[in-house]
C-alpha cells in the first residue's frame, strides 16, 4: 500500500509501550495526521462514547494497541478484569471503526493465544489446536476473540482488518509495577534496586529453565506499520481468510536464567542469582515461527542485549514517571 501521509491515523492506547512506539514510528516516517486516544480521553469500555468519538471524526486507519496487560501474577489475580476489559475494548473499537467506514485496522494480539504445549516454533496454524496456559487463559481468549472479530468483519463486510501477534515485548514505557509487570521490566527493576541498595542476592520466580523469545517494542512498531502498509494482494497471498493473523518476533529464544544473567550484566549487578522453583514457570517454551512475516519483507533488527540496555536506560531516566 502506497503511503498517504495525509491520511488520518488513529493510535488507540498511545500511552502504552506499544502504542507510543507506533506513534514514534509513524511520525518518523512522515505521517502528520496522527490522532492519539487513551483512557484519559475516553472510556473505551463505553460503547456509546466510543461510537460518538468515531462519528465526530474522519478516520482512515486504526492501530488498536489498547489492552489491559500484565504478568503471571496480575493475570492470576484479576482474571475477570482481563477478559471483560479486553473483550469490550476490542468489540467497541472494531465495531465503531466499521460503522464509520474505516477500511484499514490493525489489531495487536499476543503470543499467548497459542496452546500451552504447541509445537515449537509456534506457527499461525497452531491457533485453537490445544489447551491454553491456565495462568493467562482469560486474556488469551479475549485476544483470540479480537482476531476472530477482524476475520469476521473482513468476511461479512469486506473490511481490511489485520492482526499481528507479537512475542514477549519490552522497551521504553513498559510497566515496572513490582507485582503486575512482565518478566523483563520486573527483573530490570529488581536488579536495579539490588544494585542501589547493595543487596547481594536476587531471587527469581521459577526454575529458570523455561525458554522465552523477546522483541524490542521499536521492532514491534516497525513490523506493525509494515503489515498495515502491505499491499492487499501481497497480504492476502501470505494469509488465508480464516488464518489472517501474523506472528511477530525474532525467531530466537533464551532461558529465563540466561535472560537474568544478561540483565545482571546490563544493570551492573555482581551478586548471586537464586531461582525459586516453588513459583510457577508458566509455559515451558514460547518461540514464534516468523517465516510468514519474513516472506512479507520484514525481520527484527535489535539484538536482545542492545535492546535491554535501551530499556534500562529509559527506566533509569524516567523512573519517577514510569508505570510502577
Give residue 180's pLDDT. Answer: 65
Give residue 313's pLDDT. Answer: 96
Q: Would you list which residues are annotated within the binding site?
A: 13-19, 108-111, 143, 166-169, 182, 190, 205, 212, 281
Q: Where are the domains of the chain?
A: 9-318
Q: What is the CATH number of domain 9-318?
A: 3.40.50.720
Query: Long-range contacts: 128-134, Cβ < 8 Å, 24+?
Result: 133/282, 133/283
Give residue 108's pLDDT. Answer: 97
Q: Which three cell numbers stand for residue 121?
A: 516454533
Residue whose entry in the numeric block shows the C-alpha cell 492487499: 232
Q: Which three cell numbers stand for residue 80?
A: 475477570
Give residue 272's pLDDT. Answer: 96
What count of residues does the chain have? 324
Cα–Cα separations (whole angstroms), residue 19 to 48, 111, 285: 23, 17, 27
Rounded Cα distance between 194 and 47, Å, is 45
CA dihedral 20, 314, 164, 288 (to 10 degrees): 180
Q: Would you list which residues are annotated within the binding site for substrate?
A: 190, 205, 212, 281
Q: Which three cell numbers stand for residue 16?
A: 502504552
Q: Would you list which residues are annotated within the binding site for NADP(+)?
A: 13-19, 108-111, 143, 166-169, 182
Q: pTM, whole model, 2 decimals?
A: 0.92
Active site residue 63: no
Q: Beta strand pairing status for 272-276 and 201-205?
A: parallel
- Burial category of 274 from C-beta neighbours within 10 Å (exposed 0-12, middle 13-18, buried 19 and up): exposed
Buried b (16+ CB within 10 A) or exposed e, 147-165: bbbbbebbeeeebbbbbbb
**Cβ atoms within 10 Å, residue 266:** 22
Look at residue 213 and give its three-state secondary structure: strand
Q: What is the pLDDT along the chain (324 residues), one digit of tens a residue?
A: 568 899 999 999 999 999 999 999 999 999 999 999 988 889 999 999 999 999 999 999 999 999 887 767 777 788 899 999 999 999 999 999 999 999 999 999 999 899 988 999 999 999 999 999 888 899 999 999 999 999 999 999 999 999 999 999 999 999 887 666 788 999 999 999 999 999 999 999 899 999 999 999 999 999 999 999 998 877 777 776 667 899 999 999 999 999 999 999 999 999 999 999 898 887 788 899 999 999 999 999 999 999 999 999 999 999 866 655
φ/ψ of residue 269, rounded to 5: -75, 130
Candidates 114, 139, 235, 312; catalytic one: 139
Amino acid at each position: 500500500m502506497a503511503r498517504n501521509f495525509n491520511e488520518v491515523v488513529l493510535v488507540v492506547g498511545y500511552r502504552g509501550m506499544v502504542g507510543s512506539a507506533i506513534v514514534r514510528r509513524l511520525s518518523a516516517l512522515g505521517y502528520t495526521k496522527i490522532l492519539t486516544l487513551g483512557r484519559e480521553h475516553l472510556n473505551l469500555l463505553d460503547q456509546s462514547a466510543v461510537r460518538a468519538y468515531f462519528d465526530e471524526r474522519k478516520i482512515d486507519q486504526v492501530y488498536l494497541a489498547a489492552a489491559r496487560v500484565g504478568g503471571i501474577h496480575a493475570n492470576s489475580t484479576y482474571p475477570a478484569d482481563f477478559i471483560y476489559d479486553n473483550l469490550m475494548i476490542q468489540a467497541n473499537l472494531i465495531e465503531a471503526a466499521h460503522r464509520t467506514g474505516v477500511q484499514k485496522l490493525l489489531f495487536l494480539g499476543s503470543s499467548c493465544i497459542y496452546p500451552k504445549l504447541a509445537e515449537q516454533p509456534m506457527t499461525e496454524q497452531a491457533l485453537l489446536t490445544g489447551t491454553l496456559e491456565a495462568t493467562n487463559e482469560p486474556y488469551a481468549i479475549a485476544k483470540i476473540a479480537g482476531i476472530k472479530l477482524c476475520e469476521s468483519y473482513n468476511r461479512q463486510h469486506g473490511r481490511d482488518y489485520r492482526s499481528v501477534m507479537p512475542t514477549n515485548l519490552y522497551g521504553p514505557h513498559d510497566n515496572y509495577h513490582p507485582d503486575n509487570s512482565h518478566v523483563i521490566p520486573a527483573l530490570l527493576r529488581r536488579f536495579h534496586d539490588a544494585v542501589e541498595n547493595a543487596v547481594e542476592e536476587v531471587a527469581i520466580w521459577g526454575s529458570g529453565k523455561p525458554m522465552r523469545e523477546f522483541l524490542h517494542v521499536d521492532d514491534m512498531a516497525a513490523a506493525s506499520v509494515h503489515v498495515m502498509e502491505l499491499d492487499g494482494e501481497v497480504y492476502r497471498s501470505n494469509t488465508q481468510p480464516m488464518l489472517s493473523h501474523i506472528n511477530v518476533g525474532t525467531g530466537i529464544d533464551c532461558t529465563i536464567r540466561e535472560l537474568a544473567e544478561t540483565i545482571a550484566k546490563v544493570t551492573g549487578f555482581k551478586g548471586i542469582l537464586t531461582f525459586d522453583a516453588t513459583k510457577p514457570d508458566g509455559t515451558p517454551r514460547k518461540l514464534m515461527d516468523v517465516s510468514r512475516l519474513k516472506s512479507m519483507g520484514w525481520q527484527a533488527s535489535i539484538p536482545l542485549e542492545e535492546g535491554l540496555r535501551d530499556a534500562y536506560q529509559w527506566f533509569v531516566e524516567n523512573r519517577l514517571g514510569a508505570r510502577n
